[in-house]
C-alpha cells in the first residue's frame, strides 16, 4: 500500500516537471560539440565525430590558457567558464560555498537537471562535520539560466551538439573549480552528483586525478538510454525519434556515456559510492546495474546502497536520511 502511494507521488512529481517541456526539432550542431573537427551534415557524420571524441583522452581536458579570475565574496564564488556560449549568463560560473572552518576536506556538488534550489540541508549537515561544501551551478541553471527559459532546455535537448557542449562545459567548470580548491589548500576533494549531475560528477572523477571520492546518486552509464527510456525526458525522445534511432543516439552521445570511462573510474586512489532507487522510472534500474557491472569488471572500488523508492521520493524521509548518513560515512572514512 505504501509503495503504491509512493509510486503515485513520484508520477505526480514527474507530471508537474513536464508542464514546460516542449517537442522541438532535432539539430546536429556539430561545431558546438566538436569545435575544429569539421561540420556534420548527417547524423552518421555527427556520430563519427562523437566516436572520435569519445576515444580522445583530451576531450574533457580544460585548456591550458585558462582565465583564473576567481572571486569569493560573501559565500559566493564566481569565475569565467572556459567554454564560450551564446548565452552570456552561462559563461560565468557561480558556486555557493558553505565553509567548515577547516581547509582539509571539500565536496563539490553537481545538482540534478532543472534544479530550482541548492542543497542547503546537505551543505549544512556536512559542513558541521568538517567538510566545506561547494554547490556549483551547472550550465543553464540558477544564475546561469538563459533569459526567458522556463527550464534548462539548453543543458540536455534534441540539439545533439549543444547537449555535448553543455556536459563538456560542466566537466571543464568542475575540474577548474577543483584545481582552484587544491591551490587553496584542500587536500581531500570529493564530488557528489545527483541524477544528471551524477554524469557530470562521474566524468569529472574519471578525468580529474586529484578527486579522491565520487558519490553518484541516481546514476547510470548511457545518457542516451536514460533519455530514451526515462520518465522525465519523454519530450526529448519524441523530438529525436522521427529522425534517429536509439543506437544512433548512443553513438552521438558516446563521450557522455560513463560506461566508456569505466577504466578511468577504476583508477587507483578513487573510491566510488553509488545510491540507487529500486523504483526509479527516470533512470531505470537496469541501466544503473549495467554501469555497476562495467565498473566492477574494470576493478573499480564501489560501494552501493539501493533504496526501495522512486527517483523523486529519494528526497523524502526516510530515504533521504539513509542516503545522507551513507554519504557522510563515505566521505569521512579513512582510506
Number of Cβ within a 10 Å radius of residue 24? 15
- Give residue 14's pLDDT: 82
Q: What is the residue range of 227's domain? A: 2-332
What whole-number distance in Å separates Cα of residue 10 and Cα of residue 280? Answer: 9
Structural domain total, the chain = 1
Average pLDDT score over residue span 254-267: 98
Q: Among 188, 221, 244, which residue's Cα sits nearest to residue 300?
A: 221
Q: What percent of the chain has pLDDT over 90?
A: 87
Cα–Cα distance between 123 and 292 in angstroms, integer?
27
Cell digits of residue 7: 509510486
The pair phi, psi for residue 306, each rounded to 5°, is: -110, 125
Which residues in 235-251 are b (16+ Cβ under 10 Å) and which e? bbbebbeeebebebbbb
Reduced to 3 states (helix: H, G, I; strand: E, B; else coil), residue 306 is: strand
Residue 231's Cα: distance from chain center in Å? 17
Half-sphere exposure of 27 (CA within 13 A, CB side): 15
C-alpha cell at 283: 533512470
pLDDT of residue 334: 77
pTM for this structure?
0.96
In whole angstroms, how far apart are CA 20 and each of 89, 114, 140, 235? 21, 11, 15, 10
Q: What is the pLDDT of residues 122-166, one digit of tens each?
A: 999 999 999 999 999 999 999 999 999 999 999 999 999 999 999
pLDDT the model gives residue 20: 81
We report the CATH number of the domain holding residue 43 as: 3.40.50.1820
Q: What does the alpha-carbon distance between residue 26 and residue 46 come to, in Å, rounded to a whole number?
A: 13
Amino acid at each position: 500500500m505504501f509503495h503504491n502511494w509512493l509510486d503515485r507521488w513520484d508520477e505526480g512529481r514527474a507530471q508537474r516537471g513536464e508542464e514546460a517541456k516542449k517537442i522541438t526539432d532535432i539539430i546536429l550542431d556539430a561545431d558546438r560539440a566538436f569545435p575544429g573537427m569539421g561540420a556534420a551534415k548527417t547524423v552518421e557524420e555527427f556520430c563519427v565525430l562523437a566516436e572520435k571524441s569519445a576515444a580522445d583522452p583530451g576531450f574533457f581536458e580544460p585548456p591550458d590558457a585558462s582565465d583564473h579570475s576567481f572571486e569569493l565574496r560573501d559565500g559566493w564564488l564566481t569565475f569565467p567558464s572556459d567554454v564560450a556560449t551564446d548565452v552570456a549568463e552561462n559563461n560565468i560560473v557561480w558556486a555557493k560555498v558553505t565553509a567548515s572552518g577547516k581547509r582539509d576536506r571539500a565536496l563539490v556538488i553537481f545538482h540534478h537537471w532543472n534544479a530550482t534550489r541548492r542543497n542547503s540541508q546537505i551543505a549544512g549537515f556536512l559542513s558541521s562535520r568538517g567538510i566545506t561544501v561547494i554547490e556549483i551551478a551547472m550550465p543553464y541553471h540558477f544564475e546561469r539560466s538563459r533569459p526567458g527559459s522556463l527550464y534548462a532546455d539548453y543543458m540536455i535537448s534534441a540539439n545533439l551538439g549543444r547537449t555535448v557542449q553543455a556536459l563538456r562545459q560542466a566537466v571543464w567548470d568542475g575540474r577548474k573549480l577543483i584545481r582552484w580548491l587544491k591551490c587553496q589548500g584542500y587536500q581531500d576533494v570529493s564530488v557528489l552528483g545527483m541524477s544528471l549531475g551524477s554524469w557530470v560528477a562521474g566524468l569529472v572523477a574519471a578525468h580529474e586525478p586529484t578527486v579522491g571520492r565520487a558519490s553518484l546518486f541516481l546514476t547510470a552509464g548511457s545518457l542516451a538510454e536514460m533519455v530514451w527510456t526515462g520518465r522525465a525526458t519523454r519530450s526529448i525522445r519524441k523530438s529525436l525519434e522521427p529522425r534517429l534511432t536509439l543506437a544512433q543516439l548512443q553513438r552521438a552521445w558516446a563521450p557522455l556515456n560513463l560506461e566508456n570511462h569505466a577504466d578511468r573510474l577504476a583508477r587507483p586512489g578513487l573510491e566510488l559510492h553509488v545510491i540507487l532507487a529500486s523504483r526509479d522510472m527516470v533512470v531505470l534500474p537496469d541501466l544503473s546495474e549495467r554501469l555497476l557491472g562495467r565498473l566492477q569488471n574494470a576493478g573499480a572500488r564501489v560501494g552501493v546502497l539501493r533504496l526501495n523508492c522512486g527517483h523523486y521520493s529519494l528526497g523524502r524521509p526516510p530515504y533521504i536520511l539513509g542516503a545522507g548518513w551513507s554519504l557522510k560515512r563515505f566521505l569521512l572514512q579513512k582510506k
